[in-house]
Amino acid sequence: ICSILDIDLVKNAFPVVGNVALGLSTVCTVAYIAVCFFLNRFSDDFKSSAISLIICEVLAVVAIFLALDNDFQLIAPIAGIIVMILSIVSKCYKFSACSEVTRSSNKGLSEQWECLRKWLIYLIIGFVACLVLIFIPVLNIIAAIALLICSIAIIILAISEVVLFGMTMNHFNAIDKAAKAYKKSTEE
């Protein structure tokens, strides 16, 4: 649910303004961090994801205050880049944790999570390459088109993440139902 609400496309699709969008994002982040600490018993990568997201959010607030102060306006973009990197690291840990958790019970699902993590890394490398190439006059149009393609791919990646979360939830619900049915049959 947090992944669905955290997709910027979903936030922008509804007529949610300013403080409500910020509140929704904050609630989603806090809920995600709480869930990660709960799921830490299944994989340490959930804890790593939560910690990197906490650092990311704190640094984002610091970056906002740095941008407001004239003396530190040059440091704010650097803090913004670090925030972006930490949010990517958090997602990579999350995908790795989901892959690890599903590995013993559903190898195919585990591989899909791992593939999603790899695609995230590829897309980030693509974004960085496009941002570098956009400053080269001969390649700037090609870089702009590639940047648009990477942006669309990020949206597809976010939707794939939500779909994989649904598949993972259904998988573990089926395991839970089977375990309860087995326990009930052995008691009778």
3-state secondary structure 109-162: HHHHHHHHHHHHHHHHHHHHHHHHHCCCCCCHHHHHHHHHHHHHHHHHHHHHHH
Give backbone dihedrals phi and psi of 14, rounded to 5 degrees, phi first.
-100, 150
How confident is the model over 49-55, as a mean pLDDT? 86
Determine the pLDDT at residue 21: 58
Determine the pLDDT at residue 133: 82
Determine the pLDDT at residue 116: 92
Lowest model confidence (mean pLDDT) among 14-28, 66-80, 161-175: 14-28
Q: Has residue 158 got a pLDDT over 90?
A: no
Q: Has residue 9 got a pLDDT over 60?
A: no
How confident is the model over 27-44, as a mean pLDDT? 81
How confident is the model over 22-48, as a mean pLDDT? 79
Lowest model confidence (mean pLDDT) among 59-73, 101-115, 134-148: 59-73
Q: What is the rounded radius of gyration, in angstroms, for the C-alpha atoms of the chain? A: 20
